[in-house]
Amino acid sequence: MTFDKLLATLRAIACGAAAALLTTAPAAAASWPTRPITIVVPYTAGTSMDTLARIIGPKLSQKLGQPIIVENRPGASGNIGTGYVAHAKPDGYTLLMTVITFVMNPQLHKSVPYDPLTSFTPIGRVADGALVFAVNPGFPAHTLTEALAAFRAHPGKYAYASPGNGTPQHLAMELFKLHTGVDIMHVPYSGSAGAITDLLGGQVQAMILPANTALPLKQAGKVRVLAAAQQQRIPVMHDVPTLAESGVHGADVSLWFGMMAPARTPTGIVERLNHEINQILAMPEIKASLDKQGLTVAPDTPKEFGALIASDYARWTEVIKKAGIKAN
């Protein structure tokens, strides 16, 4: 099956799931909520997802008139918490704050306790985090074009770091390699700290990393940022061109964050949550708070978020299979 046919099939499944929601009886939604709501974060406290849930939670509590509890259920690359919500009662009282790894994990692990297209009802995207392509200042390249020339002139000589096999940074670089044809060795670390330390020390020459992490390092001259891995330039790094501006097309990565509910959650509840969350994201203080985290507000509809999930699931399935990637 070609990629286009796979994507069309996945979109049809996603649209079918969304259509099924419309047949859900509205009775439960009419009286909802009458008790506290839990937002499950499938990663540890202090991660971007956890920060998003705790920034949005108090505002959502005010709008819905019920307490919002943020519960961290980390483990197995997010699969434990995600599986917990997938099997929760679809009544609007158990929600999931997730990230792009939601669509990556099913292809990286032998089994996961959920299906990204059928186990959940999308509520909406919340924010995007920008990624950048950076190199050690000692690397002989000041532009992405020069970096590609160096990689091609010395295949296998240079190495790039990632926080581990199957992480978004790893997959983003493998996508970059597929679109450029360069041969650069992957060195996985057990977390970002060691990877960044060795990038600064020159033990590895390149890395894709979050923009908010790269910004102070760039300002201090500790890394050279050559490209933004998204469609638009990053406001705080306006001097850095995008991959497309540097001649690399199709390798953009949206590090999105979004809210999900178990499948068959009543459509009235989903629409109410989407409306209230989008109203919260429009607040200037929320935008300012996310800016400090290196995140950009990205409100959309359940249908739009569902289409993004289906598209990215197809895309990363192809990348993972072509690159032969397996999780740690």
Domain match, 141 and 199 both:
yes
Domain match, 11 and 109 both:
yes
CATH number at residue 210: 3.40.190.10
* pTM higher than 0.75: yes
Q: What per-residue confidence (pLDDT) applies to 291? A: 84
Q: What per-residue confidence (pLDDT) applies to 28? A: 58
Domain match, 28 and 56 both:
yes
Domain match, 69 and 143 both:
no
Q: What per-residue confidence (pLDDT) applies to 57? A: 97
Domain match, 268 and 154 both:
no
What HEC string does the chain produce? Answer: CCHHHHHHHHHHHHHHHHHHHCCCCCHHHHHCCCCCEEEEECCCCCCHHHHHHHHHHHHHHHHHCCCEEEEECCCHHHHHHHHHHHCCCCCCCEEEEEECHHHHHHHHCCCCCCCCCCCEEEEEEEEEECEEEEECCCCCCCCHHHHHHHHHHCCCCCEEEECCCCCHHHHHHHHHHHHHCCCCEEEECCCHHHHHHHHHHCCCCEEEEEHHHHHHHHHCCCCEEEEECCCCCCHHHCCCCECHHHCCCCCCCCEEEEEEEECCCCHHHHHHHHHHHHHHHCCHHHHHHHHHCCEEECCCCHHHHHHHHHHHHHHHHHHHHHHCCCCC
Q: What per-residue confidence (pLDDT) applies to 23? A: 45
- 240 within domain boundaries: no
Q: What per-residue confidence (pLDDT) applies to 25? A: 42
Single out the residue of 207, 62, 55, 68 nearest to residue 133, CA to CA.
207
- 304 within domain boundaries: yes
**Structural domains of the chain, count:** 2
Domain match, 45 and 93 both:
yes
Domain match, 122 and 261 both:
yes
- 301 within domain boundaries: yes
* Contact indicator for 254, 100 with CB cutoff of 8 Å: yes
Instruction: Please give the Cα distance from 311 to 205 (Å, whole number).
Output: 31
- 250 within domain boundaries: no
By residue range, what is the domain housing residue 32? 3-127+255-323
195, 229, 263: which is the final residue of a domain?
A: 229
- 235 within domain boundaries: no
Q: What per-residue confidence (pLDDT) applies to 198? A: 97
Q: What per-residue confidence (pLDDT) applies to 24? A: 44
Q: What per-residue confidence (pLDDT) applies to 242? A: 96
Domain match, 20 and 111 both:
yes
Q: What per-residue confidence (pLDDT) applies to 294? A: 77
Domain match, 17 and 114 both:
yes
Q: What per-residue confidence (pLDDT) applies to 325? A: 87
Residues in the chain, how many? 328
- 248 within domain boundaries: no
Q: What per-residue confidence (pLDDT) applies to 27? A: 52
- 236 within domain boundaries: no
Give, for all 328 residues of the chain, the pLDDT tens digit: 555 555 555 555 555 555 444 444 455 567 999 999 999 999 999 888 999 999 999 999 999 999 999 999 999 889 999 999 999 999 999 999 999 999 999 999 989 999 999 999 999 999 999 999 999 999 999 999 999 999 999 999 999 999 999 999 999 999 999 999 999 999 999 888 999 999 999 999 999 999 989 999 999 999 999 999 998 898 889 999 999 999 999 999 979 999 999 999 999 999 999 999 999 999 999 999 888 777 899 999 999 999 999 999 999 999 999 988 887 6
Domain match, 204 and 162 both:
yes
Domain match, 116 and 140 both:
no
